[in-house]
Every structure is written in C-alpha cells, then in structure tokens.
Amino acid sequence: MTIYRQIVLLIVGLLAAVFVGTMVTTVENSRAYLQEQLRSHAQDAATSLAISVSRFMASGELPAIISTTDAMFDSGYYRRITIVDMQDEVIVSRESNITLEGVPPWLIDLVPLDTPVSKAAIMNGWNQAGMVRVTSHPGYAYRQIWNNLIMNAAWFAVGALVLALIGVVILKITFRPLAEIERQAEAIARREFPLVENVPKTRELASIVRAMNKLTGAVKRILDEADASIAHLRSIAFQSPVTGLPNRQRFMSILGEKIESEEECSTALLCLIELCRFKEFNHRKGYLEGDRLLREAGRLLQASLPPEPKTVVAHLSGATFAVLTEDFQDATLLGNKLVPALCKLYELGITDTEDVAHVGISMYDGAQTTTQLLSNADAALRSAQSSGANQWAFHSGAQDESPARTASEWRRLIHAALDSDQLRLVFQPVVLTSDRKEFHREALVRLAEIGDDGTESLLNAGAFISMASSLGLAKLIDRHVIDRVVTTLETDNAMDETVAINLDAESIQDPEFVSWASEFLAKHANVANRICFELSEYGLVNIAGEFTRFVDRLSALGVRFGVDNVGVHNGVLSYLRSVTLDYIKIDGSFIRSLNQNRDHQFFVNTMVSVAHGLDVRVIAKSVEDEDVWNALQGLNVDGAQGFYIARPQAKSLD
C-alpha cells in the first residue's frame, strides 16, 4: 500500500473517531438535559393536576376527576398518570407505550432515559385526600435526540467532506514529487535517466528528490563512462590507430569466426590489398601524408563495398589492407570494383604515382582453413604484383569448384523449400555456466536439397540466409520458423524448453509481419512465454526504433528478447539503455581464443559488468573447447553456447 493511501486511511480513521466521539458526547449531553426536563415536566404536571382535582375529591365527583385527568393525559406528553386515595386505592389510571414514528427502535434500546415518577398531594382543606403520580412520556425526548443526531451528522459529514477534499488536494500536491520519483525509478529500470526538475518545498521530500537526481546522474555517468571505456578499449586493441579500421588481431578473429562457424558463413571472398611503394612515399612526403594516404585508401575501400556485417574492411599493417565479403560471389566483379576505387588516390592527388595498389583475391567455399585461405590470397597478391600496375589476381586452390547459383536460382530454391516444407530446424542448447543447466535452445534453420538419387543434404543458414534477406524472402522464412516452433511446443510433450528464434531485420521493419507475429502469439499465449526473439547487433543498430516498438508490443505476451553477435560495433550501451533485453550473446570472434587473448578477456569482462548493471544476462558464443569454457568461469559470464556444449540436433521438430 502506498504511503499516500496510508495517510488517507489515517485521516479517514481519525475523522471517524472524531465523529463517533462527537456523536457519543452529543447524545449523552442531550440525554442528561432531556432527562432533567422530563423530571421537571412531570413534577409540574403532577402539581397542576393535584390542584385541579382537589375540589372534586372533596365532593366525590369522580366523573369530573376522570375528565380532568383525561384532558391532561390526552395531550400526549405523559407515559403514566395515576390518582390514588389515602388508602392507595387507584381512582384513575392512564398509561401509554413508548412508540414514536421516525425514531428507530435501536435508539430507544441504546439510549435509555430515566423517567422518574413525580408526585403531588391532593388536599381537602388542610387534610390530604389523595396522591397524583405522573411519569412523563420520553418519546419526544427520543425524537429530539434523533433530530440532534441527524443534524450533527449532516453538518459533520459536510465538514468532513470539505476537509477531506482539501486534505486530498494538499496530499496530492505534497506527494506529487514522490510520484515523479517513482516514474524516475521506473525509467532508470528501462535504462532512461530523467531528472525531476521541480524540487518540492517540503524539506524531507526535497532531500529525497535531490538524492534521486544525484543517483540518476551518477548511474548515467557510470554507464556513459563504461561505454566510453569499451569504445576506448576497442580503439586501442581492435582498431588501427591511423585508419580506425579493424586491425590485424581483430580481422583474424572475425575471419576465424566466419570460417569456423557453420552458422556464420558458407562462401566468401578474401582480398589482400597492398599499396605500391608506400615506404618510398613516406620518405618523400613525410609520415603525416603517409597517414593521410592510408586513411583515404581505407575510406575509398569502404565506400566501394557494401556495408557490414557481410563485408569487413581491415587495415592489417603498414600499406596492407584486407577485405572479407560475403556479398560478392564473382571475383572478377570484386576485382574490377576495388582497383578503380583505389586508383582514385592518384586522381585526387593524394598519391603521386599512377601505380597505386595491387589486389589478391581468394575464395572460401566451406572447405579451406584460415591458413589456406590467407595463403591463397597472398599467392594471388604476389601474382597481381608481378602482372603490372594496378592489377588484381584470383587464386582459389579449390580442387572441385561448383558454379555459384544466380539470384533467380536462389529465389526458386527458397520458394520451393517453403512450398514443399524443405526447411528443417535443428536446436543448439545454451547452458548456464554456473551449473550447466539449460537456459534455452536456439532454433537454427537448414535448407534441405534433394539430390537426383533422392538423398537429402542440408545447407547451413550461412549458405542461404544472406541471399534470402537480399531477395526479401527472410520474413517468409521467419514466419515459417515461428509457426513450426510454436506448433511443436504445443503438441510435443517432450519439448518443454524455451526456444530462441533469430529474426531478420527485414521482418521487424515490416508492419505486416509484426502484426502477424503479435496476433499469432496472442492466439498461442500458452507458449508465448517460452519464445525468445534474437536480432543481430548489426540489425539492431540500424533499426533500433522499430526493434524497440517490436519489443514493447510482444513483451506484453511474455516473449523475451536478446541481441546476437554483440561487440562487433561501437556504442553497445546506446541500445542496452534504450531496449528492454533479457540477454546478449557476445560475438564468437571474441570467444574462440578467449583463454589466450587478454584484450578479449578484458573486453568480455567489461561487457559483463555493464550488462549485469542493467540486469541483462551475458552469453558467450562459439565455446569450442574446455580451455575457453574454463576461462568463462572467471569472467562472470552467465551462459555459453558452442560445440563444446553440444552440436545442433534435430530434436523433436523433425
């Protein structure tokens, strides 16, 4: 119960006590006064009647005595009138019951009135001839008490109502800052940090408001400093100080994650780029111009290629750059794009030689190791350098290359898979690092291809999801996955886990998909609270507003939310503070060699501290061996996912 309600109830209780006390006092005072009036009234009546019937007693005129007595009794003010002679024989006796309309019986029972018998002697000359006994009727006294009660209660009710209204207004004004403080605390829980501008004049409340404003500012400052710390760490450990691009260490982590994770990538092109005679340029122009040349080369490479996350441009060292892209399947198209872009360095006057750069390209087809892929790219670069100015070369090293599918072929294949139910789901568990209990299972989609001999092979998500997204088909796949997961959770008694589903940013941006998901899960509310939706960090950064509205709409149904591949971008806290999340998954490029890389350990530890401060759990992806698992124990990471825990399995759904 709120303090406001407690005070209101206290005021009501006090008013009720005052009312009861007032009424008791009023009744008691009225009773005492009216009881004295009844006694006096009865005595006056007895004396008057004794005088009136004295002359009739001497002559024995009984009818006259009776008529005189009746005349007085019929006035209605008397309960009993009795006339007796000297032998105490009753001459006349009249009596009535206590009955009055408009006075409740409980009042008569609750407030007894003592009506004493008043006496007066009937004289015959100097001798007493008889006695008159009179008892007043208390009904009129009860009516007076009842009327007083009604009047006092009415005035008290009006006064209490006015005072209560005034008190409520005063309390509302007084406690308004508390309501603002409550909203402020709720906002902090939502990762917002408003300040209460109007400081109340009440000293105690003013102290509370100032303290909360101070706390809000401190929390915001701590989170901002943590965000700055993470950004600074990234810039020192993972970025080239000259170009701001990912450095060799970061690029090798990304490359390793892409190649070694079957969910991330199935085909890609790797480019090694080297600017010509860069050392000579530094000697001629100086290091400032050399740094300018490197920055412009990085900018031109980024401008000529699609944005992240499917393309990564890195500055490895000196005059060497690298590009890893999943958006190009044709090396010729990529080479003819990169070389002209770099030649603009001469056209813009940034370098003074026409021979600007050489590019070596190799293809990853799912079979090579990181070392093989880099070796092929390096061989291609040496071949380009020996071919002449501004040349590119391609070296695959693959023994059996199959032609890549066109966009039209991919479209037909994905539509056919949806129509003929050839999309399969496998599940990979996420466990808690504390006791290895299951946190949830992530649903991973596979595309089944039927060979000419009828055998079925499964394409991993990395092989077709990117193409599906570019073709606008990702939302159809997302709907299919949601439908299958929900149906299975409802029908398979053995499937009692929480399931995480990765959504494409395209789906969340589509109002029709959002409405469908909301209505569909509302119809299946019995399992909605066992669904988690995940969005990649890259997607979230680009559609933060749409994702926030999506979370607000579906969280009311019990759906939980997480962010996948966290750490790839700067400004992590910017979305952690604006979106209500249950967990984040740190990108595998920071986890695979965690036990050997202190920079990655520091980064993960910092992310855990920040996330836990916002009541968000942290899960490590790509946990592939025991050494990494053991390293997680000391970093307070909440959960883990990877081949060391378990490989994806087709449990229940297929």
**Per residue in 383-393, pLDDT tens?**
888 777 888 98
Residue 571 has what pLDDT? Answer: 59
376/361 Cα distance (integer angstroms): 8
Residue 262 has what pLDDT? Answer: 64
Mean pLDDT is lowest, of 48-57, 114-123, 169-178, 218-227, for 169-178
Q: Quick one: pLDDT band at residue 486, thresholds 50, 70, 90?
A: very high
Residue 653 has what pLDDT? Answer: 40
Q: What is the CATH topology of the domain spanning 3-161? A: Beta-Lactamase (3.30.450)
Beta-strand ranges (E) seen in 4-161 are 78-85, 90-95, 118-124, 127-136
342/350 Cα distance (integer angstroms): 11
Tell which residue, 246, 190, 188, has the closest CA to residue 215: 188
Whether pTM > 0.75 for this model: the answer is: no
Amino acid code (one letter) for 479: R
DSSP state of 636: T
255/593 Cα distance (integer angstroms): 13
Q: Quick one: pLDDT band at residue 149, thresholds 50, 70, 90?
A: confident
8 Å CB contact between 94 and 84: no
The total of other beta-carbon atoms located within 10 Å of residue 45's CB is: 22
Q: Residue 553: pLDDT above 80?
A: yes
8 Å CB contact between 258 and 268: yes
248-394 belongs to CATH 3.30.70.270: yes
Q: Residue 277: pLDDT above 70?
A: yes
Q: Quick one: pLDDT band at residue 2, thresholds 50, 70, 90?
A: low
Q: What is the CATH topology of the domain spanning 426-444+472-640? A: TIM Barrel (3.20.20)
8 Å CB contact between 428 and 502: no
Q: Residue 75: pLDDT above 90?
A: no
Evaluated on CA atoms 247, 252, 254, 255, the torsion sign reads positive
- Structure-model confidence comparison of residues 327 and 552, the more confident one: 552
- Structure-model confidence comparison of residues 582 and 43, the more confident one: 582
Q: Residue 477: pLDDT above 90?
A: yes
Residue 630 has what pLDDT? Answer: 92
Structure tokens at 126: 């100097």
Q: Quick one: pLDDT band at residue 460, thresholds 50, 70, 90?
A: confident
Q: Residue 558: pLDDT above 90?
A: yes
Mean pLDDT on 437-450: 89
Tell which residue, 245, 228, 234, has the closest CA to residue 573: 228
8 Å CB contact between 164 and 113: no
Q: Residue 402: pLDDT above 60?
A: no
Helices 139-189 and 203-237 cross at an angle (nearest 10°) of: 20
Residue 399 has what pLDDT? Answer: 44
> What string of DSSP letters covers 190-251?
TT------S--SSHHHHHHHHHHHHHHHHHHHHHHHHHHHHHHHHHHHTB-TTT-SB-HHHH
Residue 409 host element (H or E)? helix 407-419
- Structure-model confidence comparison of residues 435 and 123, the more confident one: 435
Q: Quick one: pLDDT band at residue 324, thresholds 50, 70, 90?
A: very high
Describe the strand order of the beta sheet including 90-95 as a list of residue ranges: 90-95, 78-85, 127-136, 118-124
Q: How do residues 605-629 score in pLDDT, each as one tens digit?
A: 888 988 888 889 999 999 999 999 9
Mean pLDDT on 474-492: 90
Residue 631 has what pLDDT? Answer: 92
Average pLDDT, the chain: 83
Residue 199 has what pLDDT? Answer: 75
DSSP state of 38: H
Residue 488 has what pLDDT? Answer: 85
Residue spans of alpha helices (H) in 60-74: 62-73
Residue 645 has what pLDDT? Answer: 92
Q: Quick one: pLDDT band at residue 43, thresholds 50, 70, 90?
A: confident
8 Å CB contact between 635 and 605: yes
- Structure-model confidence comparison of residues 620 and 114, the more confident one: 620
277/272 Cα distance (integer angstroms): 16
Domain ranges of the chain: 3-161, 190-237, 248-394, 426-444+472-640
CA 17 to chain centre: 44
Structure tokens at 558: 């019990």
Mean pLDDT is lowest, of 67-76, 183-192, 289-298, 525-534, for 183-192
Mean pLDDT on 53-71: 81
Percent of the chain with pLDDT strictly greater than 70: 92
Q: Residue 136: pLDDT above 90?
A: no
Q: Which whole-number Å values give the CA distances from 77 to 68, 71, 371, in the listed order?
A: 15, 11, 121
Mean pLDDT on 75-97: 81
Tell which residue, 86, 98, 188, 89, has the closest CA to residue 140: 98
Block residue for tokens 């072929």 = 409
511 prior amide bond cis, ω within 30: no
Tell which residue, 557, 505, 573, has the closest CA to residue 534: 505
Q: Residue 87: pLDDT above 60?
A: yes
Q: How do residues 346-382 score in pLDDT, each as one tens digit?
A: 888 898 888 899 999 998 877 778 888 888 888 888 8
Residue 366 has what pLDDT? Answer: 74
Q: Backbone phi, then psi, for 502, in 5-degree steps?
A: -80, 130
8 Å CB contact between 111 and 31: yes
Beta-strand ranges (E) seen in 318-455 are 320-325, 357-364, 392-394, 423-432, 438-450
132-136, 149-153, 319-323, 375-379 — most confident range: 319-323
Block residue for tokens 């399969």 = 424
8 Å CB contact between 196 and 206: no
Rg (the chain; Cα; Å): 47
Q: Quick one: pLDDT band at residue 99, thresholds 50, 70, 90?
A: low
